[in-house]
Structure 1
Amino acid sequence: MIARVLEQQSAISFVLSADRKARHLVPTWQDVEVLEAVNNSLSPLAEFTDALSGEQYVSVSYVKPVLHLFNNKILAEKEGETELSKCIKKKILDYLNNKYDDPLTQELLDMASAIDPRFKLKYVNENRVEAVKTRLRAEMASISTTVKPQPSVTVREDADDQNAPALKKTKKTLGSFFKVDEDQRPASPSLNLQDMAITAELQSYFLSAAVDSEEDPLVWWKEHAKQFPALSKLAQKYLCIPATSSPSERVFSTGGNIVNCLRASLKPESVDRLVFLAKNL
């Protein structure tokens, strides 16, 4: 709206000055200066707001890079700017930095950014890199331990069954004396092997080739899921988080359009199906 007023400033001034009763509404140079300051400060944020509010692509991993871009380029003070422009930019930066300054939020954003192959640890604070790697290892270990192979089931014949043939006694081989039962095998070597596999997978991921910022990280993870099995599970966990509440608000709006005064008797299950179809067709 402000950009449109500045664009049509000459026409607005001409129309208002032609009417004696409206001449006092002609924008003064102070008014124009304020409008230009607000427009210069807010116009760069429009595209970023639309991008972070999307729901057809990964958005949560963009938050840290966007904040870095705001602090160092987009909203940084420039020579020749008015004091009002500098004040507006500073207020915006203070608000955004305070909004995402919560430790839990920072931890979540660091994990989402690290698991995105486009950014990895590029926008993670140097003091938090080791903490992020430690949490990645811990979550990768928890994923590896939860997925255990199922023990094989053997069917034992009933000893009282007279019709069952007697089992032939087999001789022990020399190698059988060197076998160790699973219950007696120490746990530390397996844990060490698991830690080594996790460390190797994590290092291989961070040393992999850089991905273009325009590529879809979900497609990348689909192609490299076998190469990074544990990290691909973490990508499913973190990259599905929306960066803003806009997607949920769109769902609420869709539900409000479906459930109205003429369709107030719909069952909850029917509403769920209709909203799902409306958002996915």
Structure 2
Amino acid sequence: MDVRTRWNSSFDMCSCYLEQQAPVYAALVEMKKVSDVATLSESDVQNIENIVEVLRPLKTVTTMMCSQKHPTVSLIHPLKEMLLGHLQISPSDNSLVSDIKKAISSDLKPRYSDANILEFLLQTSALDPRFKSLPYLDYDSRQKSEAPDETSPSENPVATIPTLEEGEPPLKLQKEVTRTSNGGALADLFGDIFVARAEPPKTSIDMMTAELVSYKEEDCLPLNSEDGCEVSDPLRWWKEREDKYPLLSKHAKRLLGIPATSVASEWVFSTAGDVVTAQRACLSGDQVDMLVFLKQNISIPNDLF
């Protein structure tokens, strides 16, 4: 069962052994062939249990990242930091567990360490309403990720937001009308067009900054969805608030629309390979497209079976 090119095969193999150990042993005792089988010692079984505990979070992370719904790029950095924290060596770890943690940590730490990639991942995590507080970072790193860099606007994602269109009036008039209690004639005549004060319009930077301040005051999105889904959807969160955050939502949806892995698209190719076989070589292209679409999107309730 342990395959080098298959994720989690080591974890699945060890978990399956622990799960099936008792019935297999009972069957061997019944068959009176225990002496003919090389069994694991108690210390070996304890080591397997420890290995399973170390690898369990990796199983959870990879399964989540391979899901076809909500595997946004904003998950990469929080999950990496969570795994590195889990792989910290504790005094209670034996030599085998310590060696496994060191091996996995040494392979994981250099990943996504490029400055540009790391900055991008932090931006996407900050725009994800589930991780916008960045609790896994130290204070200095959190402040650097949350605050826009005003000294270099060309590198700031805020600068990518389009500015005011040409032909817009240079001043946005704010109407402040004070009507008398008896409904004065001047107020009635000029109330709709009277301007008490003219103020210059806010720039896109100012509007984006105001949206960022309001966004930081929002409660974090729960990790589990309220509608019963296993994972909450940050893109739906931004869709529902695009009127409140017109500039920030565009930037967030552009970044959070990037998938974290290519697994989902590879599964589509695998599905197409299962549909088009030697026995079904007469299927037309349109039929293949329809069958693949149904396979990837149809949802059959469990109560039908």
Tell me the TM-score normalized by structure 2: 0.65
Give a deviation string over 1:145-187, Cα, whole Å, max 9, x none: 3x84789xxxxxxxxxxxxxxxxxxxxxxxxxxxxxxxxxxxx
For 1:113, the equivalent position in structure 2 comes to 125
> Where do 5+ consecutive residues of structure 2 fail to align?
1-12, 169-199, 226-231, 299-305
Aligned match for 1:51, one of 64, 76, 85: 64
Give a deviation string over 1:227-262, Cα, whole Å, max 9, x none: 111111122212122222221221111111223224
Which one-letter code corresponds to 1:52 in the other structure? M
Following superposition of structure 1 onto structure 2, how do residues 16-165 of structure 1 map, counting pairs within 5 Å? 18-19=32-33, 22-23=36-37, 25-72=38-85, 74-122=86-134, 123=136, 126-127=140-141, 129-130=143-144, 133-134=148-149, 138-145=156-163, 148=165
Q: Percent identity?
A: 33
The answer (yes or no) to whether the contact 2:132–2:220 under 8 Å persists in 1 is no
Quote the offset at 1:213 in angstroms. Answer: 2.8
The structure carrying a bigger helix percent of its residues is: 1
Which one-letter code corresponds to 1:5 in the other structure? Y
The answer (yes or no) to whether the contact 2:208–2:248 under 8 Å persists in 1 is no
Q: Distance in 1 between matches of 2:35 and 2:243?
A: 74
Quote the offset at 1:270 in angstroms. Answer: 6.0
Q: Distance in 2 between matches of 1:246 and 1:150?
A: 47
Q: Distance in 1 between matches of 2:23 and 2:284?
A: 55
Higher RCO (C-alpha under 8 Å, 6+ residues apart): 1
Q: How many residues align?
A: 240
Where 2:161 maps in the other structure, the secondary structure is helix
Q: Distance in 2 between matches of 1:150 and 1:269?
A: 48
Tell me the TM-score normalized by structure 1: 0.70
Q: 1:259 to 1:206 in 2, by over 3 A?
A: same
Give a deviation string over 1:39-98, Cα, whole Å, max 9, x none: 2211232222222211222432222222222222x3232342211112112212222222
Q: Find out whether 1:3 has 2:20 as its counterpart.
A: no
For 1:213, the equivalent position in structure 2 comes to 223
Q: 1:32 to 1:276 in 2, by over 3 A?
A: same
The answer (yes or no) to whether the contact 1:58–1:240 under 8 Å persists in 2 is no
Q: Distance in 2 between matches of 1:222 and 1:202?
A: 16
Q: Distance in 2 between matches of 1:265 and 1:105?
A: 46
> Where do 5+ consecutive residues of structure 1 fail to align?
152-188
Q: 1:138 to 1:8 in 2, by over 3 A?
A: closer
Quote the offset at 1:221 in angstroms. Answer: 1.1
Work out which of the two has the higher radius of gyration on C-alpha atoms and give 1 or 2.
Answer: 1
